[in-house]
Amino acid sequence: MTSTAQAQKSGAGTAHPDHLGHVIFIAAAAAMGGFLFGYDSSVINGAVEAIRGRYDIGSAALAQVIAIALIGCAIGAATAGRIADRIGRIRCMQISAALFTVSAVGSALPFALYDLAFWRIVGGFAIGMASVIGPAYIAEVAPPAYRGRLGSFQQAAIVIGIAISQLVNWGLLNAAGGDQRGKLMGLEAWQVMLGVMVIPAVLYGLLSFAIPESPRFLISVGKHERAREILAEVEGDKIDLDARVSEIEHAMKSEHKSTFKDLLGGSFFFKPIVWVGIGLSVFQQFVGINVAFYYSSTLWQSVGVDPTDSFFYSFTTSIINIVGTVIAMIFVDRIGRRPLALIGSVGMVIGLALEAWAFSFDLVDGKLPAAQGWTALIAAHVFVLFFALSWGVVVWVFLGEMFPNRIRAAALGVAASAQWIANWAITASFPSLADWNLSATYVIYTVFAALSIPFVLKYVKETKGKALEEMG
């Protein structure tokens, strides 16, 4: 019996939970990992200049401290699946929450630069774990009829985490009199910014005790009765629970465990479809999007914006990011992935080119001329909006759909790794590039945004409305 036939027999495809609110709570609790992902990724934005001043370091060393968290991210993402398969999804969330908490305390109370860098790696490891476990758990627990909407909680939580971190940073900076190194609660303001992450980290850990283990994991370790209880809880007791358990068991046994060897082939080491996935990941990062979240306060201060205002602009940018993400969630299944990607690329080219033009002017009394200053500010928001409504969401949709079943897991892993590496390259290089020539740096990002257009037109195929079995 096929998986489709079994699903029809069990009634899973049309299952509706008796208490949808409870299922939403479960998905939202799991998505707290995404909130921490977004929060931790961007909270460092408020500490960049203070770290530079406190430890008297240059741009290259500063960039490594900021970017080193991405090494932890890559390791955490690469190992999370294996850890979750061995000890369970919930335990994996609890480990992630504990690492987030420890990292927040350590980052807030460093005794040296290398100590701060170490805690950044620990936090990065937690980010990597959360980025894998949250979506996987939600997909395994959500009723099929609600899986798409509940799965979108993760991305929504990430962009909300980014926004909240910027709002908190702005509030703390105001409380410290506009000085990142001003005193708050006996610490410098930037230390409090990093330490505040303890609150959502502890909340994530507590919530993990209030949600059930994944039925898929329970079945894999022989706890069938508990799996039935949870399936009844999240999919309703009108389904045939025995048939549903058999369906999951059959799917797990028939799955092909893709390996790195499966990706090899073609004239350039990897199969062509794998290179397309890598290309999507690299273009998503090489347009410089994470500069907006890691360095925006520093960027605005470098062209004469008051520190408090620069933090506020970082917050407004993150609100635009949320708006763009919502737009993408609404239209990605209506107009398709490729059209959204192309619209986003055109918008990003315009925004980045205007920023490059504005930054090409000399500062007057430490500030950009008024017209160029406002142009840069508006263009930065335009860039983030078009990224969020397109590449920010579409790339992850593509990567989840575009690969043939036989290689999907391994290919997604390679593409995600390429994304972390590209993220690191941009994050580590920006301070030095900005010191060299800020306008030219944005020209580079503009070129990559422009190149993404022919890349999508020539190599990326639409996946809207296609079954996963049709890919490849």
Structure tokens at 84: 């979750």
Residue 20: C-alpha distances to residues 32, 229, 349, 360 (Å): 19, 16, 42, 54
Distance CA 22, CA 470 (A): 34
Distance CA 208, CA 201 (A): 11
The mean of the pLDDT values for the chain is 85
Q: Which amino acid is at 188?
A: E
Q: Which residues pair with 184 in a beta bridge?
A: 187
Residue 254 backbone phi and psi in degrees, to 5: -90, -5
Q: What average pLDDT does this structure show over 443-459?
A: 97
Q: Give the pLDDT band (50/70/90) at residue 7.
A: very low
pLDDT in tens, 147-164: 767 777 877 888 899 889
Per-residue confidence (pLDDT) for residue 307, from 0 to 100: 80
Per-residue confidence (pLDDT) for residue 108, from 0 to 100: 93
Q: Give the pLDDT band (50/70/90) at residue 258.
A: low
Per-residue confidence (pLDDT) for residue 348, from 0 to 100: 97
User: Please, are residues 79 and 99 in contact by the beta-carbon 8 Å criterion?
Assistant: no
Q: Please check the confidence at residue 465 and state whether its pLDDT lies above 90.
A: no
Place of tokens 């990326």: 460
Per-residue confidence (pLDDT) for residue 278, from 0 to 100: 92
**Alpha helices, H only, 209-271:** 215-220, 224-235, 241-254
Q: What average pLDDT does this structure show over 72-96?
A: 87
Q: What average pLDDT does this structure show over 61-80?
A: 85
Q: Please check the confidence at residue 273 and state whether its pLDDT lies above 90.
A: no
- Assign 180 to helix, strand or coil: coil
Distance CA 297, CA 56 (A): 18
**What is the end-to-end Cα distance of the chain in Å, rounded?**
24
Per-residue confidence (pLDDT) for residue 409, from 0 to 100: 66
Place of tokens 């930054």: 359
Q: Which helix (H) or strand (E) holds 267?
A: strand 264-268
Per-residue confidence (pLDDT) for residue 306, from 0 to 100: 83
% of the chain beyond a pLDDT of 70? 92
Q: Please check the confidence at residue 412 and state whether its pLDDT lies above 60.
A: yes
Reduced to 3 DSSP states, what percent helix, strand and coil does the chain have, rounded to the nearest 5?
Answer: 80, 5, 20
Distance CA 208, CA 155 (A): 19
- Give the residue, 56 or 294, on which the prediction is more confident: 56
- Give the residue, 383 or 302, on which the prediction is more confident: 383
Q: What is the pTM of this model?
A: 0.80
Per-residue confidence (pLDDT) for residue 195, from 0 to 100: 94
Distance CA 74, CA 420 (A): 6
Per-residue confidence (pLDDT) for residue 136, from 0 to 100: 80
Place of tokens 């036939």: 5
Q: Which of 123-132, 143-152, 242-251 has the highest mean pLDDT?
A: 123-132
Q: Please check the confidence at residue 235 and state whether its pLDDT lies above 90.
A: no
Q: Please check the confidence at residue 4 and state whether its pLDDT lies above 60.
A: no
Distance CA 204, CA 207 (A): 5
Per-residue confidence (pLDDT) for residue 384, from 0 to 100: 95
* Residue among 34, 20, 22 nearest 204 (CA): 34
- Give the residue, 136 or 54, on which the prediction is more confident: 54
Per-residue confidence (pLDDT) for residue 466, from 0 to 100: 65
Least confident span in 17-26, 222-231, 329-338: 17-26
Per-residue confidence (pLDDT) for residue 385, from 0 to 100: 96
- Give the residue, 108 or 294, on which the prediction is more confident: 108
Q: Which of 125-139, 164-178, 229-243 has the highest mean pLDDT?
A: 164-178
> Per DSSP, which regions of 269-338 are E strands?
270
Per-residue confidence (pLDDT) for residue 107, from 0 to 100: 93
Per-residue confidence (pLDDT) for residue 100, from 0 to 100: 93
Q: Please check the confidence at residue 393 and state whether its pLDDT lies above 80.
A: yes
pLDDT in tens, 297-345: 878 888 888 888 888 888 898 899 999 988 988 888 788 889 999 999 9
